[in-house]
Amino acid sequence: MSHVNVTADLSERNVELGSTGSLASHACLVVGLICLAVAFLFPVLGIGDTTWGAFWRNWLQTWIFVLQIPLGAFFFVFVQHLTRAGWSVAVRRPAEVIASNLNWIWIGFLPIAALFFFGGSYYLFPWSDMSELAAHAPEEAHLVEGKTAYLNTPFFLIRAVIYFVVWAVLANYFLRTSLRQGHEHGDGPTRSMQKVAAPAAILFGLTTTFAAFDWIMSLSPAWFSTMFGVYFFCGCATCGFAALILTCIMLQRNGHMVKVITNEHYQDMGKLLFAFGMVFWAYIGFSQYMLIWYANIPEETGWFLARQMGDWGWFSAWLLFGHFCIPFLFLISKHPKRNWRTLAFAAMWMMFFGWFDVYWLVMPTIPHDLATFDTYDAAAEAYAHVGTGLLNPINWFLLAGMLGIITWITISRLRSHPLICKSDPWIDESLNFENM
Partner 1 sequence: MSATSKSNVTAPAESEGKTMYGLIAEYETPADLIKAAQQVRDAGFKWWDCCTPFPVHGLDKAMGIRTTILPVLVFFAGMTGTMVAFCLQTFTNATDFSLWAMVWVTGYPFLISGKPLMSLPAFIPVMFELTILFSALSTFSLMFGFNGLPRLYHPLFRSKRFRRVTDDRFFIVIEARDPRFFQGRTKAFLESLNPLSVEVVED
Q: For partner 1, which is the closer residue by CB, 264 or 424?
A: 264
Residue 325 within binding range of partner 1, rule CB under 8 A: no
Considering only 117, 155, 286, 376, the residue that binds partner 1 (CB under 8 A) is 286
Closest approach, Cβ 420 to partner 1, in A, equals 21
- Nearby residues of 93 by Cβ (< 8 Å), 6 or more positions away: 178, 417, 418, 419, 420, 421
Residue 20 dihedral angles phi and psi, to the nearest 5°:
-60, 140
Considering only 198, 290, 317, 378, the residue that binds partner 1 (CB under 8 A) is 290
Q: Would you call 181 exposed, middle or buried from its count of C-beta atoms within 10 A (0-12, 13-18, 19+)?
A: buried
Considering only 2, 83, 226, 372, the residue that binds partner 1 (CB under 8 A) is 2
Residue 376 within binding range of partner 1, rule CB under 8 A: no
> Among 307, 226, 237, which Cα is nearest to 276's?
237
Could you give the CA distance from residue 26 to residue 10 in angstroms, rounded to a whole number? 27
Considering only 289, 328, 345, 396, the residue that binds partner 1 (CB under 8 A) is 289
Closest approach, Cβ 227 to partner 1, in A, equals 15
Q: Cα Rg for the chain, rounded, in angstroms?
A: 23
CB contact at 8 A, 403 and 358:
no
Buried b (16+ CB within 10 A) or exposed e, 266-293: bbbbbebbbebbbebbbebbeebbeebe
Q: Within positions 407 to 436, which residues make up the interface with partner 1, using CB under 8 A?
A: 432, 434, 436
Considering only 22, 148, 152, 333, the residue that binds partner 1 (CB under 8 A) is 333
Residue 288 within binding range of partner 1, rule CB under 8 A: no
Residue 375 within binding range of partner 1, rule CB under 8 A: no
Residue 377 within binding range of partner 1, rule CB under 8 A: no
Could you give the CA distance from residue 154 to residue 127 in angstroms, rounded to a whole number? 12
Residue 314 within binding range of partner 1, rule CB under 8 A: no
Could you give the CA distance from residue 392 to residue 59 in angstroms, rounded to a whole number? 13
Closest approach, Cβ 329 to partner 1, in A, equals 10
Residue 293 within binding range of partner 1, rule CB under 8 A: yes
Residue 297 within binding range of partner 1, rule CB under 8 A: no
Considering only 169, 332, 378, 384, the residue that binds partner 1 (CB under 8 A) is 332
Residue 151 dihedral angles phi and psi, to the nearest 5°:
-90, 80
Binding site for partner 1 (CB under 8 A): 2-4, 286, 289-290, 293-294, 296, 332-334, 432, 434, 436
